[in-house]
Each structure stands twice: as structure tokens, then as C-alpha cells.
Structure 1
Amino acid sequence: MTSIEQKHPVANPLQEHEDYVVRLRLPVALMGGTQAMRDADRAFLPQEPAESAAAYRARRDRTVLHNAYRRTVAYLTGQVFARDVVLGEDVPEAAVEFAENVDNAGNALSIFAEEVFRAGVDHGVAHILVDMPPAPRDAQGRTRELTRAEEREQRRRPYWVLVRGEHVIGWRSEVEGGRSRLTQVRIRESVSEPDGEYGVRRVERIRLLEPGRYELWEKRKGKGGDETWARIEEGVTTLDEIPLVTFMPGDRESAMTARPALEDLAYLNLAHWQSSSDQRNILHFCRVPLLFGKCLTRDEAGDIVVGPNRLIHSDSENADLKSVEHGGAAIEAGRRDLKDLEEAMALYGLQLLMPRTGNITATEKALDSAESDSTLKSWALQFRDALEQALHFTARWLGQEGGGSCEVNTEFRMQDGLDADLLLKAEQQGVISTQVVFEEFKRRGLLADSWEWREIEASFQNRPGLGLAALAGTFLRGDRPDSGASKA
């Protein structure tokens, strides 16, 4: 078809999308590491009122990020994908073969799924677009439907695309039979195209999807350098719904946006970044003592020169020269603040694995309450549903009904890097149960296998108010507590 070049509102994002992108700035910078946080400049590291620009830049460039946020995203994702996704026996044979290369880039289902899950935990929402290459056109530009044999011969098959939350810039939906149904979605894409003999340029596009049809728009430079959009492709599909699956572990803000799932942890990490900057700055100056002198003799130029092979003297009986050093109280207070923040960030990630208390969301209520006893487990179960929906769309593209079921890992274990002191603090703050800590100590070999939980439990019954930390020194030495319980 002939492209229609014009200014077009197809690229205008909804206000909900713009609000969502603002919330992503901190998680994006944290995932980028130290350099990205430095590049963010004053957005995340304020300049003090009397601080010069040069002093600010020096302080910023001395600051190194303790990236608890990125490690937690990786740790939580690793827990869910400690085992591969398992397809159910009800998955069609064609879909089983498809799962060996779901994205047409050679990535198997579990590899692709892990990337989607990580993106969802990081940004609060991620999508899977189950797409299909357009059908060929005849000489008149009309779409010609292929037979299954022709599709296999031409290797035309569906494929999955990770669509990050910030790339969905607009959407519409309606309620049918009590169920919300997408009627339009606009996705921003960026593709590489050859530029000259050796170069490559990035081209921005908007993919507009509606039930049964699609359009593809491309950003162009119009006359006078104005930005225009050209519709470069359009066509029909065999699906009566939009094959976009949404995974939303963050708190929902709209149909397609959510708060970043680890937003609170991101702000803890920001507080650590700023406190670390202050700490490194004060250490920089405190490590160089100041000289205080009075009534000293100046040289012929009127200066007092301090340095190697220099003698500073004076004929005055009131002369004095001494080194003035910082008392260190502020340094110690800063060190404690950093340690407290590091412990809080470590406990935050641990808390997502523990049984939940208090209110739960509507999405979590829809899951089996016996299964979703932790935040991470509820995310894993929600993600399983998303994968099954993607398998459903895949089957429909293949001309089959029902994509079958799958299973994701929901059996998690705490990382061995958590030391005994942090486990005890987590128990004291109610993040994890006393029995969990006891079992962790046994698993790590800190306690002999002959120990029984009932011995510890009986100690608490005989001595009300006694915490595990008070007993830790005893049972880590190998002594048995005064429980009154006999050894099995």
C-alpha cells in the first residue's frame, strides 16, 4: 500500500503511561549501576546549597553504588527459575516443538520466560506479544491465507516478543460478559536498519493492534525537519482478540501500568547511595589533617611554606603549630547508618519469600490461598497463568484450541550468603519464623543433625519471652538448652 505521511497522534502516549515512566527512573538507574546513578546527577544526588559545582562533581564521582536492588531482582528471579518451566501433558505437540525456540532467536521457553519475569519484577509490569509473520500478498496487494502445509514449508510460525511496560504507550478496553477485553493497544518499537555502506541507524516505530487487524507506523523527518509519522504497513489477522499477555507483579495503577514491584527497596537503595556519598566525602577530608599555627615566621615572600625539607620556626614564645583532626563521631554515625540500611535491604528481599500477613490484593485472592503463601510465590503463580495464556494464543495461531498448562518453580530456599547474625535479626523483627532460622542453621551445618526443633520449642515454653537470639550462643556452641525435653 502507499504510505500516508503526516503528523499523526498515533505516537501520543496516554497520561497514565507518562506517570508510569516517571516512576521507572529510579529502578532504571539502579539497574544501570554506579555509572548510571552518576549520570543521573542531581536527580538522585542533590547538590548542597553552599557546595560548588566542582566540589559536587568530585563528591559524585567518588560515590560507588551498593547495588542491593539489582542483586535482589536477580535473586528473586533465580529462585523462580532454579528449575525450568515444565509443560503439561495437555500441551499440543506443535506447541511442545515451538517451546524449543519461542522467540525465533533460538531461546527456549524457560530462557525467554526468565527474561520476562525479571522485567516484570523490575518495572512492575511486562508483556508477552504472541505475534505471527504477516501472510504473503498477491500481485494486487491482497492477503492470501496459507494452508498448514504451506506454512510449514515456508517456516511461518508464531513467536513471542518481550514487550517492556514502558513500551506500551496507549490502550483501550471494554467489558464483555463481566470480563475486560483489550480493543486497542499501541506499542513503541525500535529497529535497526542499514545506513549507507557500513552504518546502522535506529528507527522508531509504533505497532497498533486491534482484534483482527494491525498497523505499523514509522517515524520520519518531514520537510523542514519536522517529525512526521508514516503508516508503512497494515493488514488483517485470523485472531478476534489482541494476543498480548500481561504479567503485573506490581500494584496496579491502570490496565497497563503498575508501581515497580520493588519500589520501596529502590528508595532504600537511594538512601544508601546518598548516605554513602556523604560518608565518602567526609572520609576524604578527614583523612587529611588540618594544620593550625600562630605567631609563625614568614619567608621573604610573606608566605609560610609547609612541606618536606621545610623548617617552620618563630621567635615568638606564643608560637604554636599542631595538627587538628576530626573527632570521628560523625564518621561512626555514618557507618552505622550505612550498615542499618544494608540490613534493611537484605531483610526486604528475604521478606518476599516468607508467609504473608495482613491484606492481600484482589489478584492474590484469585489464586489458591494455600499455594500463594508468600509474595514471591504469588508472583510465580501469576506468571504461570501468563505463560498459559501465551500458550493459548500460540495454539490459536497454529489453528488449534487450547494451549495446555505448565508449571513454574514455587519451592524456594534462602541464599547461603545470609549470615547467622542477619537471620537472627530477621527472626527478631518477625520477618521469618524461629523454626525457619533453626532449620537454616541445621542446613548450613551450624547445628548437629541430632538437634530436634521440639527441644528449642520447649525452651521457649519453659522460659516465656526468651528469643532465639538469646539461645543462639548456647546452641551454636553445641550445648543443649535447658528445655526439659529428652533427646529422641
Structure 2
Amino acid sequence: MAKDVRALSAVVKAMHKPLPLIRALLGGTAAMRAAGKDYLPQWPNEQSESYAARLAVATLFPAYNRTVEVLAGKPFSKPLTLSDDVPARLKAWCEDIDLQGRNLHTFAATLCEEALGPGFCGILIDYPTTKGLRTQADEQQAGVRPYFVHIRLDDMLGWRCKRVNGVWTLTQFRFLETAVEEDGDFGEKAIEQVRVLYPGRWEIHRKVDGKDDWTLHDEGTTTLKMIPLVPVYGKRKAFMIGVPPLLDLAFMNVEHWQSKSDQQTILHVARVPILFTKMLGDEVEITVGANTAVKAQSPEADMKFVEHKGDAIEAGRKSLLDLEDQMRQAGAELLVIKPGNVTEAQTVADNEQGSCALQRIAGDLEDAIDAALQLMADWVGEKEGGHVTVYKDFGAATLAEASADLLQKMNVAGTLSDETLFEEFQRRGMIRPDLRWGDEQQRIGKPRPGAAPEAA
């Protein structure tokens, strides 16, 4: 029995640190509210009831979520294609690559979202147990075949690696998984277990009931003499180490979440005027209404409403708008083509053209899928796994062009109004500065020349 099989390694602990923030932002308003004081601190001397009310009405500007969604969709706006050297049976398996109904295109799109969000994940090429099946023909007749499993960074526990013939190679990999077993006639129970992979063999550990110890539950061998896991990086730092490429945007989104809550609070205060009275006397009853009057006993008495001037409100509004613009630019920077190349090899590979950060992520994902297909081929004795091509012709020449594309996507999704889109395009110099939104609305409403009249 071992307690440390479930423990996080130091490297994984460091990579897990931004995960709660990223998952909360990707989860939207509900997830951010559930996080509570983690990302919306309670003010000094603020009553718990007041804080709970403030948290309950807070809404998230979905900058991070929408940016990840839009950017991850770009490489897959056109179908992923398989080369001619992909074996016929692998092509057929790509229509249900994970044995859960997802084809390779959809599976790869999910990997891209994870690369842009948490910044790291893995493709495990798994193979069902073949007890009682003696030959490959028996396996084919039974429908047993390798398949892809998406391993999230959240479920990774640790690994060991070393150089083999000059190449970094995994010698151990641990991750969490959940086994679902029947419980009674109709119920079921989920059991957490740790799978440990070694070259040529595997182990499954489960927790001992009522104790902190873990015991070996099952084990077996594989025909592969390597660990069939392919890493997928967002921003690669080293072998099996990746960081979120949009982490700065995530921090800015939290700043906006907090600042917007402050703005909502001051708006609530400013919208409710305070009734001020002076020297009316304790015996005077005050009734506020259109058909009422208040009679004062002292000539120095006074009564009036005190309202907020609103200077802080306007300053807060401008601050939020500035922050929203900074977030759009932070996301758009991944689409801007950077001139020049890093190395001679990269220059040849890129055909002497620069590339944007998202194109490099798409290229790394393409390489990872190629490696996964080769492992799938190795499982069944195929010499060649083939190659895939991911669409990468979406770079933008300037930041203005890249951010304009993101704005248009937000408008189509309904998270940005037509008028704001018009103003943002105008600010980027893409629309003449003398045009006005009201005039454009009238022009849009007019029928186009030569258009057929609408039916009565």
C-alpha cells in the first residue's frame, strides 16, 4: 500500500496553480459566483449579508471564455484532413476516434481549447483488455481496437522521464480516472482510481475503505514498449511542461469582474437619493408623496434630497471600457503574424514567412495528432500512421485587423451590440470618421437598389 501514488508532483502542483481561475472563467458567471471570495473579495467592515447580495447580482464579462472559444475555432473552421498514407482502418476509426461518438476533427478541436485554456493536456492511446482473445483476428472480430483518450491537466498527478537515444521519453505516468460500477439493481457508484503507466505495463490503484492508503487493484502488460501518451502544449516551456498562453487575459478578466461589481454598487447607491432634513423637530411626521406637505416649526428648518454627483460613476465606466479594450487586444495578439523566424530550420519549415502564435499552436497540435496516429498504428502492427493537416491560414497583419475579427465574432454571438461594433471599427480606422451610427441605421433600413419589394 502507498499513500504517495495519489500525490501531486512538484511540477504538476506548479502547473495546477492557475487551473481554478481558468476553470472558473470558462464556467461563466455561475462558476465565478460559486468561487465567491476567491475572486471577489469582501470589503473591510462589509456585512456578510451585503456581500452575499453584491455577489448574487455580479455578472461576468465573458472576455476570456469567448476569446478561447473564438481562437480555438479558427484552426477548425475548415475540416481537418487526412493524408493518403493513413491506413484504411485508421481512417475508419477516425470517424469515432474516442469510442464515444466523436470524430478526429471534433476531438482535436477540444484539445485546442485545452491548449489555449489550461495550456497543457495529453492524448492517451488506449487499448481495451483482450482477455480470452489470442490472435489479432480474434480482436478484429470482437471489435477491439485502439482509441484516443483526452487526459486533462486537472487529472494529471505526475510523471518521470529520461533521455533515451538523446530524446526525452516518459518512463512513468500517473493520472486520475473514475470507474463507474453497478450498485444494487438500479444504482451505480463512481470510484476514484489512479492509473500508473510504465513502458510495457500498467497498474490501477484504489483507495482502501476508511483509510488514506491506496492498494494495487489491477495490473497488466501491453505490447507497446513505450508509454502511449502524446503531450499537447499551449505555450511549451520544456518537455511535458506547458503554460496557459492567455493567462494575462485571465487576470484582466478577474480585474474587470471585481471593478464591475464596484461599479454596480456605486450605481445602486447613486440611483437612490437620500432625504436630508434639518431642524424639523421630533414631533413632525414625514410622508413623501405628490399630495403631501411637511410643516416646519422653525424658520431655519430645511428638507431636501441629496444625490450623488456621478463623477466617480463616469470614471468607473471609462475604466471598464479601457479594460475591455485591453482584453480584446490581449486575445487578438495571438492572431498577429510576427515578422522573422527564430531558426534556420523554422525558416525552411515556414517557407520563409512569419506566423502568429495561434498558428504555431495549431502546428504543434498537428504534430501531436500525427504522433498519436503513429502510436495507434503501432498498436495494430501498421508501419505508418499517416499525417493530418490542420487549417492555419488565418493570421492577421495588424492588431487592429485581428481585434476587429474578434469583435465581429462577439457581435454574431450576441455579446456585443451593433452600435458598439460600428464604433470599434470606426476607432480602428476601418470606417470613415464622419459617419454616424444613426445615419447608418437609416441606410441599413432602406431597400437595396434593384431589390424585389417585400410582400404585403
TM range (shorter): 0.7 to 0.9
- 1:400: which partner in 2? 382
Q: How many angstroms apart in 2 are the aligned matches of 1:327 and 1:362? A: 62
Query: Contact (CA 8 Å) 2:120, 2:232: kept in 1 or not?
Result: yes
Task: Give the structure 1 partner of residue 392 of structure 2.
Answer: 410
Match of 1:150 in 2: 138
Matches within 5 A, 1:203-282: 203-221=191-209, 225-252=210-237, 255-282=239-266
Residue 348 of structure 1 aligns to a residue whose secondary structure is helix
Which range moved further: 8-17 or 174-183?
A: 8-17
Q: Is contact 2:279–2:302 with CA below 8 Å preserved after alignment?
A: yes
Q: Which residue of 8, 19, 26 maps to 2:3? A: 8
Q: Secondary structure at the match of 2:174?
A: strand
- How big is the shift at 1:306? 4.2
Label 1:11 to 1:39 Cα distance change in 2 as closer, same or farther (>3 A): same
Q: How far apart, in 2, do the equivalents of 1:200 and 1:363 lie?
A: 54
| Alpha-carbon distance in structure 2 between the residues aligned to 1:366 and 1:37 | 45
| Contact kept? 2:124, 2:228, Cα under 8 Å | yes
* Runs of 4+ deviating beyond 6 Å: 358-366
> Residues 317, 357 of structure 1: CA spacing in aligned structure 2 closer, same or farther, 3 A cutoff?
farther
Q: Is the 8 A contact 1:128 1:245 kept in 2?
A: yes
Match of 2:131 in 1: 136
In the alignment, the residues of structure 2 paired with residue 45 and residue 251 of structure 1 have an alpha-carbon distance, to the nearest angstrom, of: 31
Answer whether contact 1:184 1:210 (CA < 8 A) is retained.
yes
Q: Within 5 Å, which residues of 2 pair with 1:161-240?
A: 161-221=149-209, 225-240=210-225
Whole-angstrom distance in 2 between the partners of 1:366 and 1:233: 49
- What amino acid is the match of 2:213? T
Paired with 1:311 and 1:350, the residues of 2 have a C-alpha distance of 60
Quick one: structure 1 residues 267 and 360, their matched pair in 2 at CA, closer, same or farther if it must change by over 3 Å?
Answer: farther
CA displacement, residues 166-197 of structure 1 (integer Å, 9 cap, x when unaligned): 21111000012221011110011123323333
* Equivalent residues of 2:341, 2:353 under 8 A apart: no
Distance (Å, rounded) in 1 between the aligned partners of 2:78 and 2:169: 33
Matched, 1:288 2:272: yes
What is the correspondence of 1:412-451 to structure 2 with a 5 Å cutoff? Answer: 412=394, 414-415=405-406, 416-417=408-409, 419=421, 421-423=423-425
- Cα distance change on mapping 1:321 and 1:357 into 2, 3 Å: farther
Work out the CA distance in 2 between the residues paired with 1:392 and 1:133. 18
1:321 aligns with 2:306: no
Distance 1:201 1:194 in 2: 6
Distance 1:202 1:425, change over 3 A: farther
Counterparts of residues 355-370 of structure 1 (less than 5 Å): 355-356=337-338, 368=350, 370=352
Q: Which runs of 5+ in 2 are unaligned?
A: 396-404, 412-420, 440-456
1:313, CA displacement in angstroms?
Answer: 2.4
Are 2:340 and 2:354, in contact at CA under 8 Å, matched by a contact in 1?
no
Shift of residue 369 of structure 1?
A: 6.7
| Structure 1 vs Structure 2 CA RMSD | 2.6
Picking from 333, 341, 350, the partner of 2:315 is 333
- Once residues 310 and 72 of structure 2 are traced to their aligned partners in structure 1, the CA distance between those partners, rounded to angstroms, is 41
User: After alignment, is 357-366 or 125-134 more displaced?
Assistant: 357-366
Correspondence for 2:446: none
2:179 match: secondary structure: strand
Q: Is the 8 A contact 1:371 1:377 kept in 2?
A: no
> Is 2:16 the counterpart of 1:21?
yes
The answer to whether the 8 A contact 1:372-1:381 is kept is no
Partner of 1:104 in structure 2?
99
Instruction: Tell me if structure 2 keeps the 8 A contact 1:23–1:259.
Output: no
Q: Percent identity?
A: 36
**Partners in 1 of 2:343 and 2:312 — Cα distance?**
43
Offset, 1:231:
1.7
Q: Given that residues 251 and 261 in structure 1 are in contact (C-alpha distance below 8 angstroms), is that contact kept between their aligned partners in structure 2?
A: no
Matched residue type, 1:386:
A
Cα shift readout 1:78-112 (whole Å, capped 9, x = no counterpart) = 11110111000111112111111101112111011
**Contact 1:364–1:378, Cα closer than 8 Å, also in 2:** no
SS class of match (1:215) = strand
Partner of 1:389: 371
Shift of 1:363: 11
| Alpha-carbon contact 2:341-2:347 (below 8 Å) kept | no
Partners of 2:381 and 2:140 in 1: CA distance: 13
Shift in Å, 1:319: 0.7
Separation of aligned partners in 2, 1:52 and 1:189: 42
The SS at the match of 2:175 is strand
Does the CA contact (< 8 Å) of 1:364 and 1:372 recur in 2? no
Distance 1:213 1:280, change over 3 A: same
Q: Which residue of 1 aligns with 2:454?
A: none
Amino acid at match of 2:28: G
Counterpart code for 1:186: R
Q: Does the aligned pair in 2 maintain the 1:102–1:160 contact within 8 Å?
A: yes
Query: Any conservation in 2 of the 1:17–1:166 contact (CA below 8 Å)?
Result: no
1:124 to 106, 116, 119: 119
Deviation at 1:131, TM superposition (A): 0.5
Partners of 1:33 and 1:7 lie apart in 2 by: 38
Q: Name the CA distance, whole Å, in 2 between partners of 1:54 and 1:361.
A: 59
Task: Please give the secondary structure, in 1, of the residue aligned with 2:96.
Answer: coil
Kept in 1: contact 2:347–2:353 (CA 8 A): no
Q: Which residue of 2 aligns with 1:45?
A: 40
In structure 1, distance between residues paired with 2:2 and 2:22: 33
CA contact (8 A) 1:80 1:380 kept: yes
CA shift digits 1:114-164 (9 cap, x unpaired): 111111211001111011012215xxxxxx6x3221111111100100001
Answer with 360-369 or 273-282: which moved more: 360-369
Q: In 1, distance between residues paired with 2:344 and 2:257?
A: 35
How far 1:199 sits from its partner (Å)?
Answer: 2.8
The corresponding residue for 1:483 is none
Alpha carbons 2:340, 2:353 under 8 Å: kept: no
Distance (whole Å) between structure 1 residues aligned to residue 344 and residue 55 of structure 2 = 43
The 1:135/1:366 distance shift into structure 2, 3 A limit, reads farther
- The equivalent of 1:62 in structure 2 is 57
> Displacement, 1:421?
4.2
CA distance in 1, matches of 2:30, 2:264: 17
Give, as a single letter, the amino acid of the residue that structure 2 aligns with 1:410.
K
Change over 3 Å in CA distance of 1:46–1:227 after alignment to 2: same
CA apart distance, 1:307 = 4.0
Aligned length: 416
What's the CA shift string for 1:281-331, capped at 9, x where partnerless? 0011111001111011333xxx75444476432110001000110010000
Which residue number corresponds to residue 358 of structure 2? Answer: 376
